[in-house]
Amino acid sequence: MPHRTSRRTLLTATAAVTAAAATGALTPPAVASAHSTNASTDRRLRRIIAGMSLEEKVGQLFVMRVYGHSATDPDQADIDANLKEIGVRTAAELISTYHVGGIIYFTWAHNTRDPHQIADLSNGLQRAALAERHRVPLLVSTDQEHGIVCRVGEPATLLPGAMALGAGGSRSDTRRAAWIAGTELAALGINQNYAPDADVNVNPANPVIGVRSFGSDPDAVADLVAAQVKGYQGAGIASTAKHFPGHGDTNTDSHTGLPVINHTRAQWEELDAPPFRAAIRARIDSIMTAHIVVPALDPSEDPATLSRPILTGILREELGYDGVVVTDSLGMEGVRTKYGDDRVPVLALLAGVDQLLNPPNLSVAWNAVLEAVRSGEISEARIEESILRILRLKSGLGLFRDPFVSHRGVERTVGSRAHRAAADRIAERTTTLLADPGSLLPLSRRTHRNLLVVGADPASPSGTTGPPTGTLAHAFGELGFSARALSTGTAPNQAKIDEAVAAAEGKDAVVVATYNVTASSSQRTLVTALVATGVPVVTVAIRNPYDIAHLTGTGVAASLAAYSWTDVELRAAARVIAGRAEPEGTLPVPVQRADDPTQVLYPVGHGLSY
């Protein structure tokens, strides 16, 4: 079996590189894929499978949500939620009833309150799994992409998301960010991360991917996907490239509908395939499917998650991938549009999937698969293929040897000073200065000491400690400015706009956090009104970098892109505005003109410096 870095080694390595990290020299180790194996290991794993009942085999295919901060003693509200949605009281009861092979953590399920609680939950889950007859450990997973998708928040280290890293353009920084994230997840007992996003975001109107993508250039995205795979897997956890065959060109959110991508096969090869090919070359441990229709790849118009031509024909046979294939959540509308919840898991397995993620009704899905095997629709040999891949992954991660984590490991690793310092430096290298026509920036405390920070306050991901305006104002305060925060929201009404205009009186500059501005957005009205006061206005796009297309012509003094509203990226933006860091980021996507989308306002690679 290929060598996998143990958690003990990781903790020692983390302590050893603290001094080096302070200068940016956090270097992830090389690592082999966890789904690789050898003959003797396979024989051992096949013996485990042979001893399983059919019910136990079916259970290994499922990765399920569960409410609660504890595996055995959740709060009463979480017990009630578990009973209502799953029919069990606790995570331990879920494992003993359905023999599930994995658990996925969500913030809203109260799984991720704080690092020590997460470690205790992970250990409790593994104890419940090892109490089962065959002592098969669990894959514990989450979506920790960083940026706008982040399930584990502070005091864990928060890092720039994919598009920010794309703006930085550094494979070293991208790999380092994944390694830092991976070592902290490993310390928490989370051994499978559903990242990186391998979609190529060629559609500015994409409602579900956007800044979760590294950019619009397939080759650049491929390089950074491979870097993150190596970073995560070098940290001892499984990495997951998503969403195959590519979710980057859609106007529909697959959470709420079924997107159709009309790329030709040649376009798919050119635009969507390169990052997945790169992930496979980097020996990716798992790949997640997309609930999208791609007629050129499968004329049946089944979603890719349920498509044998796509998952077996292309992913397995053409691309040669033999690792674990996991569905996107089976509770999403995109996969439920065409078939019922009883047919979806069966069709996914027939298509070539290994892991069935988060079905809306576990009892319906589990019993449907059980009946499909008993009836002969799915052969037992077919599900054993998937179970072998899953057990290979668990074995390669070292979970059969020791699936447990320690509080000492949490204290030494999660949110360490070295990790946070590295995150701040990486974030500085991603911040992009898009426009500064009057050379206003950097702001000087002598001439622009009194600031007003206004703007959007979107729902906070786990990587934030409060509204973006407050975070920015606090960051400016730490840099020696006097800054007042005023949250005006993503759709400010006239009263809020008037309040902001009044607050701007006597200020030396106004910083506006913008969030997905459109031609009809009242955020544009806010910016225009603030510019009319005569006070210099600096805008910071805190999600998609396309906001500037709708603000051109308003008279703003300078515009930046931060790519997210997590604390690490907002602090970096403040340091750039204040001249404490150079704006080194460049656009990883083009920004089209708002009045003529066929024309490019700012091309890929655009970015100003001081």
What pLDDT score was predicted for residue 462? 65
What pLDDT score was predicted for residue 558? 97
What pLDDT score was predicted for residue 463? 63
Tens of pLDDT, residue by residue over 92-124, are 999 999 999 999 999 999 999 999 999 999 999
Contacts of 268 (CB under 8 A, 6+ apart): 245, 246, 294, 296, 297
Q: Is residue 360 part of a domain?
A: yes
Tens of pLDDT, residue by residue over 236-250, are 999 999 999 999 999
Are 301 and 240 part of one and the same domain? yes
Q: Is residue 419 part of a domain?
A: no
Residue 292 maps to which CATH number? 3.20.20.300
The alpha helices in 162-272, defined as continuous H runs, are 162-168, 171-187, 218-234, 265-267
The H-or-E segment that residue 244 falls in is: strand 238-244
Are 464 and 569 part of one and the same domain? yes
Which of the four pLDDT bands, split at 50, 70 and 90, describes residue 385?
Answer: very high
Question: What mean pLDDT comes out for the span 54-83?
Answer: 98
The total of structural domains in the chain comes to 2
For residues 305 and 287, is the Cβ–Cβ distance under 8 A? no
What pLDDT score was predicted for residue 33? 72
Are 409 and 442 part of one and the same domain? no
What pLDDT score was predicted for residue 458? 85
For residues 173 and 412, is the Cβ–Cβ distance under 8 A? no
> How much is the pTM?
0.92
Question: What mean pLDDT comes out for the span 546-553?
Answer: 94
* Final residue in a domain of this structure, among 413, 440, 470: 413
End-to-end alpha carbon distance in the chain: 51
What pLDDT score was predicted for residue 519? 86
What pLDDT score was predicted for residue 2? 34
**Which one is catalytic: 42, 134, 253, 255?**
255
Are 375 and 506 part of one and the same domain? no
Are 304 and 387 part of one and the same domain? yes
Q: Is residue 455 part of a domain?
A: yes
Q: Is residue 70 part of a domain?
A: yes
Q: Is residue 210 part of a domain?
A: yes
Are 438 and 403 part of one and the same domain? no
* Final residue in a domain of this structure, among 413, 442, 476: 413
**Which one is catalytic: 197, 302, 328, 547?**
328
Is residue 110 part of the annotated active site? The answer reads: no
Are 394 and 437 part of one and the same domain? no
Looking up tokens 């890293």, which residue turns up?
A: 165
What pLDDT score was predicted for residue 51? 96
What pLDDT score was predicted for residue 414? 98
Rounded Cα distance, 126 and 463, in Å: 27
* Final residue in a domain of this structure, among 355, 379, 413: 413
Q: Is residue 609 part of a domain?
A: no
Q: Is residue 276 part of a domain?
A: yes
The residue segments making up the domain with residue 327 are: 7-413
Are 283 and 155 part of one and the same domain? yes
Are 191 and 316 part of one and the same domain? yes
What pLDDT score was predicted for residue 308? 98
Q: Is residue 607 part of a domain?
A: no
Is residue 255 part of the annotated active site? The answer reads: yes
Are 362 and 469 part of one and the same domain? no
In this predicted structure, the answer to whether residue 327 has a pLDDT above a threshold of 70 is yes
Are 265 and 147 part of one and the same domain? yes
| DSSP codes joined into one string, 302-367 | --GGG-HIIIIIIIIIIS---SEEEPSPTTSHHHHSSS-TTTHHHHHHHHT--BEE--S-HHHHHH
Residue 575 maps to which CATH number? 3.40.50.1700
Are 343 and 467 part of one and the same domain? no
